Amino acid sequence: MRLTNTIRKKIWLCVNVALIGFIVATGFALYSNHQIKIHLTHIRDLDFDLAIRSNELLNLFIRQKNFYKDSFLFGSQDSANKGNSLCKEIKSKINSITQLKRSFHSLPPDRIETLIGLENMYCDYIEHASKLYPLLAQGEDPGKHIEALQQLAAAQNEIHNNLEYFSKFYRLHFSNNVTYLMDMTKRNSGFLTVFFLTLLVVMLGVVNLAAKRTLIIPLAHIKDAVRAFGHGQRSFPELEVMDADDDIGELGTAIITMTKDLVSTTVSKAYVDSILRNMNDSLIVTSRDFHIRSVNRSTLELLGYGKEELIGRHINNVLKDFLCGEMKDEAFDNDEELSLHLCSNAEKTFVTRDGRNIPILLSISWLKDEENETHGLVYVAKDITDRKKAEQKLQQLALYDFLTGLPNRMTFTDRLEQTLKQAHREGHQAGLMFLDLDRFKDINDTLGHDSGDALLKKAANWLRGCVRESDTVARLGGDEFAIILDKLTEPEDAVNTAERILSAFTRPVIYKGNEIYSSPSIGIAFYPRDAGNTEALLKNADIAMYRVKQNGGNGYTFFS
């Protein structure tokens, strides 16, 4: 509706429609009142007067007739005179009625003629009556005037009947007019009631329809659109079809424009949600008092919890060794207290639902709104289990021999130093065995490197089986092994160990159907007896071992 493009105009339209209806109704009421007034005036000026005057005329005539009758019956001259005296009055009365009727042009002329005829008839009658009756009253014999009397009686009766008819007619006319007026009033009232009610119903319908079409439905569209906007919807076909020149349509257009602007200038919630849902790192948001408020999918997968299980729990349940500090209520209101928990890439541990520990890199930061008000903390955790394993492997590779799993030379040296320091501190002895496999080079060359490796692995196992828990077996490289014998009370302990080793090597290593026999050459040196430091001790043990080799191997000897 182009005409009604502002809300003010829409409201005015409704008001005007109602107003026009009521003006029309008032017009009808005025018109019907006017009609009634005209009728009432007519009744007052004509019908009422006619009814009164014709009745007066009839009464006058009857009085006159009675006077004449008295004069005739009882011979009263006086009555005859009285009757005659009424004659003038009656004539003037008839005349006044004629005049009255003449003044109303609406009356048909034949009625007036009838009245004039009556007047003439009366004049004729009275002319004779006024002479005859006094004469008879004086004692004249009525037998002589029978014919005249007959005529008079006939005229008298006719006039009487006519007057009676007139009187009755005008009385009826009056009462009919009043009744008609009453009916008209009643009819008008009924009509006006129906009219007003119909008008009211029509008005209600029109105003309702107009309000609904121009106000309520567009507003409902806008309301729906705003709600849908809140839920992330970004296109509103209902708003698109609105008339942009309309106030409400303008609002709709403004919402569409706003939506488009928002889409082009800001990241949508769905977009953020998608990122959070699909990121591999765990994301947890807690309130200021460390109760979990939301988590992403990765967190749930990592920890094995359902979402409902986690929401509302304290962060302690999943984050190991998390110190909340003093659990004072006011502490939660203090940003400084909270800021103690902020961290970046700290190595922490998550505890899963089934109790496993998962190493993580944890960053904790603020959750703040636009007004920089702190609402809680955001925890982003990266699962570093794999990295930890890799680190362990690297460590293994750096400190231990790859083939046998025994400590390598570096570890060995470190341990030897520790052992010597401890022995020095505590004042007891330590032993060092240097061990070389006889004919290892031949085995390697004839049976292959893999056979040599199998031999080395088996030898390492045997060696580990022949020493105490506190002793260290290490591979120094090639077929060279070393054993640190900690806290020796006397050198014979070392002899026992060496004997066990020699007997262990009497068994063959079976590899790919070959029985590989090997024997060790063992050189033994003691601290502090043979040397005061690691280098010297190693060297002396090595010397001892060469002595065994020179003697054909498969044996042991002490440096001193």
Partner 1 sequence: MAINKLKRHIIIFVMFVTLMPTGTAIADFAVIVNKDNPVVSMGKSDVKNIFLGKKTFWPDGSGIDVYLQRAGKAHRSFVLEILRKSPQQLSMYWKQALFSGTGIPPNQLQDDQSVIKAVADNAGAIGYIAPEHIDTTVKALELK
Which residue ranges make up the site for partner 1 (CB under 8 A)?
A: 68-69, 72-73, 142-143, 146, 149-150, 152-154, 156-157
Q: Which residue has the tokens 């302690």?
A: 316
C-beta closer to partner 1: residue 27 or 142: 142
In whole angstroms, what is the distance from residue 65 CA to residue 86 CA?
A: 10
State the minimum distance, in angstroms, from the CB of residue 144 to partner 1.
12
C-beta closer to partner 1: residue 156 or 419: 156
Q: Are 263 and 234 in contact (CB under 8 A)?
A: yes
State the minimum distance, in angstroms, from the CB of residue 138 to partner 1.
15
> What residues form DSSP beta bridges with 472?
484
Sheet holding 429-437, edge to edge: 472-477, 480-488, 429-437, 520-527, 555-558
Residue 541's nearest CA partner among 526, 555, 529 is 526
Q: Where are the alpha helices (DSSP H) in 105-145?
A: 109-137
Please, is 228 exposed, middle or buried when counting C-beta atoms within 10 Å of its C-beta (0-12, 13-18, 19+)?
middle
In whole angstroms, what is the distance from residue 5 CA to residue 314 CA?
A: 58
In whole angstroms, what is the distance from residue 359 CA to residue 323 CA?
A: 17
In whole angstroms, what is the distance from residue 319 CA to residue 343 CA?
A: 14
C-beta closer to partner 1: residue 154 or 219: 154
State the minimum distance, in angstroms, from the CB of residue 74 to partner 1.
9
C-beta closer to partner 1: residue 39 or 69: 69
Residues in CB range of 498: below 8 A, 6 or more apart: 433, 522, 524, 556
State the minimum distance, in angstroms, from the CB of residue 149 to partner 1.
5
State the minimum distance, in angstroms, from the CB of residue 141 to partner 1.
11
Please, is 435 exposed, middle or buried when counting C-beta atoms within 10 Å of its C-beta (0-12, 13-18, 19+)?
buried
C-beta closer to partner 1: residue 139 or 143: 143
C-beta closer to partner 1: residue 72 or 559: 72
C-beta closer to partner 1: residue 6 or 157: 157
C-beta closer to partner 1: residue 12 or 74: 74
C-beta closer to partner 1: residue 69 or 500: 69
> What residues form DSSP beta bridges with 433?
483, 524
What tokens does 95 get? 């005349």
In whole angstroms, what is the distance from residue 194 CA to residue 510 CA?
A: 122
C-beta closer to partner 1: residue 146 or 536: 146
Sheet holding 357-368, edge to edge: 292-295, 282-287, 374-383, 357-368, 343-351
Q: Are 335 and 374 in contact (CB under 8 A)?
A: yes
State the minimum distance, in angstroms, from the CB of residue 56 to partner 1.
23
Residues in CB range of 114: below 8 A, 6 or more apart: none
- Name the helix (H) or strand (E) containing 392: helix 385-399
C-beta closer to partner 1: residue 121 or 343: 121
State the minimum distance, in angstroms, from the CB of residue 159 to partner 1.
12
State the minimum distance, in angstroms, from the CB of residue 139 to partner 1.
13
**Residues for the chain: how many in total?**
560
State the minimum distance, in angstroms, from the CB of residue 64 to partner 1.
13
State the minimum distance, in angstroms, from the CB of residue 57 to partner 1.
20
State the minimum distance, in angstroms, from the CB of residue 195 to partner 1.
59
